[in-house]
Structure 1
Amino acid sequence: MPSPDHPHPGQGVALAILATACFALLDTLSQFVGSAVPVLMAIWTRFLVQTGMTVGLLLPRQGRSLFATRAPGWQLLRGALMTTSGVGAYLSLQHVPVGEFTAILMLVPLAVTLLAAVLLRERVSALTWALVAGGLTGALIIVRPKGSDLNLGMFLPLVLVVINACYQIVTSRMVKTEDPATMHFYTGLFGLAIASLALPWSWARLPTPGLWLLVALLGVFGSLGHYFMIKAYQKAPASRITPYMYSQIGFATLAGWIVFGHAPDVWTVLGIALVAVCGVLGVRAR
């Protein structure tokens, strides 16, 4: 039912699903351009476009309050984590199909629970521990070596889960004092600044203007995805939205199938289903 704080929960769910579609397109496009564009050059372009779009979308509504922050150090840390996550995702997608990659990333909510128990000494139920174990089992089924394809890059998404879980913990601390739109702006700005430091050593001439357009679309899809999520959380509570975030697995699997012909086998589908079920039950168990 609608509440005074979240008057349009149905709209919030729709916006969240739209955001997951944008994120799936972002990951699919990252995999598509990954073999031709250096990673830091792609990340720099993404954050450049994202920062420009954030200002264009949010500044007219919020004015100078968009730039007001009480925690510049935490903003920098969040930007550094986002940049590390972007680099890790870009590299991971050179080794793991986008659908499977997305499914593994859906372990992040369970990883946040695990880190909260270990680092913050929060009490976690036996059911939640079982769901964490089940989700990790699903991820290992997804990344299992197929024939002689074993390489360390296949396990990069699991490292990325930990990085993204740290990002979520930092975010949960910051939302108590910071405006979500301001956080989104500074994350892009600091990500752009960090990527700019390495840009002179990673710049490469791209062979076609079309490739530049595709790289720029990384920023478009990333910015729109985060913008839609901000609006979604304004319309509906997180507990209502989070289960629908798993629709990103479906979008990413479909995109990977269409663009790359990556049709998941039976074991991969089983692993994806296990991650999704454990993730949704984990949200409801909290």
Structure 2
Amino acid sequence: MVKAIGLMVLATLCIAALDTTAKYLTDTHKLPVAQVVWMRFVWHVVFSAVFLWPFALRPRCDRRSPRQVVRSCLMIVTTALNFIALKYLQLDQNIAIFFLMPLLVAALSGPLLGEWVGWHRASAIFAGFIGVLVVMHPGIGDVHWAMLFTLGATFGYALFNIATRYLAAYDPPAVTQTYTPLVGVLIMTPPGLLYWQWPDQWWVWLLFASLGFWGGLGHWIIILAHRLAPANVLAPYIYLGLIWMSAFGFVIFDHVPTWWTIAGAAIVILAGLYLLARERIAEDRERKRGAARSAGAEFEPPQ
């Protein structure tokens, strides 16, 4: 359990490093978002080829391949919208809105997977939306249009997670992990070449390579962590991302979180933790019911 939690903490640090690098390339170096997104997937493929494919990381074509492609497209859209938003928003603002993702997964699991939530969890989802409104504070100050891109990225990532849960019942994690960067490279190559700008410094290529490294390593560590511990144990640790994002934002971009961001993030995090607590209670009840049914069947007299 401790090892799984440690892996999850490391994964949140990797994702924070990915977003920080993307913002540095698109904001500070003014590189096109399409180019940065393309490089993110190109180097993710390189990372997978070097570190993961020797361990039977091989995609296959079957009747579920189109669903894998759809899942990959969701990640491409999510990455593009997120990188556009990062160009204009502070890192802490972006991640505070992104914390809505677990709540969106719970809300969308009903119509898409048949996993409907009760009023307790519905209240948590509603509170999460209130928290995002606090971060955006419409009507009180200027709402940056890039926040709408973050919302779109959050919605896309929620659908991506639901697709991952669905495909987990059919394909091993290695296969699912492989499709994402491969499809990303195929789709993003035309716009990446169209908007290509040659870096003015040689070390920018190292930053390009780090996009794939942080993204590939982060997602793979998340898979490893979930093999060692259940999701409801690991989920609260995603909120450590706010600490990493705030630290990177302050050190690299001299950004200080606003009170709106802190207050809104606190509401979203509390709502997410309450949702996780309700899910644990529901799982415990189902486990006890299953044990009771098993005990009843064991002592049922013969007919």
Give the equivalent residue in structure 2 for 1:3. none
Distance 1:121 1:184, change over 3 A: closer
Structure 1 unaligned regions, length at least 5: 1-8
Q: Would the aligned equivalents of 1:22 and 1:221 in 2 still touch at CA under 8 Å? A: yes
Match of 1:99 among 83, 88, 92: 92
Deviation, 1:121, is 5.0
Match of 1:49 among 30, 43, 49: 43
Give the equivalent residue in structure 1 for 2:297. none
Give the equivalent residue in structure 2 for 1:6. none
Q: Would the aligned equivalents of 2:40 and 2:212 in 1 still touch at CA under 8 Å? A: yes
Deviation, 1:144, is 2.4
Higher RCO (Cα < 8 Å, 6 or more apart): 1
Q: For 2:98 and 2:58, locate their aligned partners in 1 and report how far apart those are by CA, in whole Å.
A: 29
Q: For 2:192 and 2:263, locate their aligned partners in 1 and report how far apart those are by CA, in whole Å.
A: 41
Q: For 2:227 and 2:113, locate their aligned partners in 1 and report how far apart those are by CA, in whole Å.
A: 28
Identity fraction in percent = 28
Offset from partner CA, 1:143-170 (integer Å, 9 cap, x none): 2269864332222211111111111111
Deviation, 1:238, is 1.3
Q: Secondary structure at the match of 1:87?
A: helix
Give the aligned residue type for 1:55: A
Offset from partner CA, 1:94-133 (integer Å, 9 cap, x none): 2221112112111111001111234455431111111111
Matched, 1:17 2:9: yes
Matched, 1:31 2:23: yes
How many residues matched? 276
Offset from partner CA, 1:40-71 (integer Å, 9 cap, x none): 11111111111111122222223xx6334542
Deviation, 1:281, is 1.6
Matched, 1:238 2:231: yes
Q: Would the aligned equivalents of 1:10 and 1:236 in 2 still touch at CA under 8 Å? A: no
Give the aligned residue type for 1:183: T
Deviation, 1:24, is 0.6
Q: For 1:27 and 1:176, locate their aligned partners in 2 and report how far apart those are by CA, in whole Å.
A: 30
Match of 1:217 among 199, 210, 215: 210
Match of 1:60 among 37, 54, 57: 54
Q: Would the aligned equivalents of 2:74 and 2:157 in 1 still touch at CA under 8 Å? A: yes
Q: Would the aligned equivalents of 1:55 and 1:185 in 2 still touch at CA under 8 Å? A: no
User: Whose radius of gyration is greater, 1 or 2?
Assistant: 2
Q: Secondary structure at the match of 2:203?
A: helix
Structure 2 unaligned regions, length at least 5: 280-303
Q: Would the aligned equivalents of 1:16 and 1:232 in 2 still touch at CA under 8 Å? A: yes
Q: For 2:116 and 2:260, locate their aligned partners in 1 and report how far apart those are by CA, in whole Å.
A: 33
Distance 1:200 1:113, change over 3 A: same
Q: For 2:111 and 2:68, locate their aligned partners in 1 and report how far apart those are by CA, in whole Å.
A: 24
Q: Secondary structure at the match of 2:161?
A: helix
1:175-254 pair list within 5 angstroms: 175-254=168-247
Offset from partner CA, 1:153-202 (integer Å, 9 cap, x none): 22221111111111111111100011112111111111111101323311
Q: Which moved more, 1:148-157 or 1:231-240?
A: 148-157
Kindly report the root-mean-square deviation, in angstroms, between the aligned alpha carbons of the 2 structures: 1.8
Length-normalised TM-score, structure 2: 0.86
Length-normalised TM-score, structure 1: 0.91
